[in-house]
Amino acid sequence: MPALAPACVVCAFTLLLVTACAAAPVPRVEEPIRADAEEPIRVDAAEAAPNPEPPAAPAIPPAVQPPPVTVQEVAPAANPAVNEDEQQAIALLADLQRYAVSTADELRRELASAGQAVARARTEVNRVRLAVLMTLGAAGPTDDARALALLESVIGKAPVNTPVRQLAAVIYAQIVERVRDVAEEKKKTQQAQEKLDQLRAVERSLLLERNRNSGGAGGGGGGGGGTGR
């Protein structure tokens, strides 16, 4: 076998080397991982889908600011107007209260003044005032009959009930009740007096009868003694 030339050897070695390089796997060079490299974010398909927008909320109108409240001084409510009849009734009540604490001299002066007032003007108030004074014993002798007559003229039969007439009706009822009680007491006293008079009459008759019997018995005894002599 002839020997191979050096050129052939070189070609054969080169061929073998190329064949080995082609057959041998090429090593993979990996890049070094940098610390500052960001990790890729894996987005899920479900998450990648856009979220449905929520339904739009109804528009809220802007709040209306109340007007500023100003503090004002509130004047006290005025008392309802009092008519003339009510004023007269109030004045009459004040007079009646004054009579309850007045002395006898003051009541006599009030009675004289009330009589003069009625003579000048026969108003309802004047008549009621005079009627009340006539029923007070401290002012003088009472005159219930005239007082009731004055009150009856005030009450009358008119359907209108004024405060003065209502007061007159109350006083009239009180006087009538008092007169009735006085009449009852007087009647009882009269009946008791009649019984007492009857008892006294019976007692006198018994005494007369006793005296008559005593006188008759003494006369009979004297006559009998004369006959015996």
- Rounded distance between C-alpha atoms, residue 118 and residue 141, angstroms: 19
Is pLDDT above 60 for 153?
yes
- Rounded distance between C-alpha atoms, residue 27 and residue 42, angstroms: 30
Query: How far apart, in Å, are the Cα atoms of 81 and each of 76, 77, 85, 87, 124?
Result: 15, 12, 12, 10, 22
Judged on CB neighbours under 10 Å (0-12, 13-18, 19+), 161 is: exposed
- Rounded distance between C-alpha atoms, residue 23 and residue 17, angstroms: 10
Is pLDDT above 60 for 86?
yes
Is pLDDT above 90 for 129?
yes
Greatest alpha-carbon pair distance for the chain in Å reads: 251
Which pLDDT score is estimated for 53?
A: 59
Which pLDDT score is estimated for 174?
A: 93
Which pLDDT score is estimated for 213?
A: 85
Q: Which range among 1-15, 119-133, 161-175 shows the weakest confidence by mean pLDDT?
A: 1-15
Half-sphere exposure of 7 (CA within 13 A, CB side): 0
- In terms of average pLDDT, the best of 60-74, 75-89, 111-125, 153-167 is 111-125
Is pLDDT above 60 for 12?
no
Sign for the CA dihedral angle at 180, 186, 190, 196 comes to positive
Band the pLDDT of 141: cuts 50, 70, 90: confident
Average of per-residue pLDDT across 31-44:
50
- What is the average pLDDT score of the chain? 74
Which pLDDT score is estimated for 95?
A: 93
> Do residues 161 and 83 lie in contact, with contact meaning Cβ atoms separated by under 8 Å?
no
Average of per-residue pLDDT across 16-22:
48
Which pLDDT score is estimated for 221?
A: 52
Q: Which two tokens stand for residue 89?
A: 């009734």
Which pLDDT score is estimated for 85?
A: 83
Average of per-residue pLDDT across 137-148:
90
- Rounded distance between C-alpha atoms, residue 7 and residue 1, angstroms: 17
pTM comes to 0.52
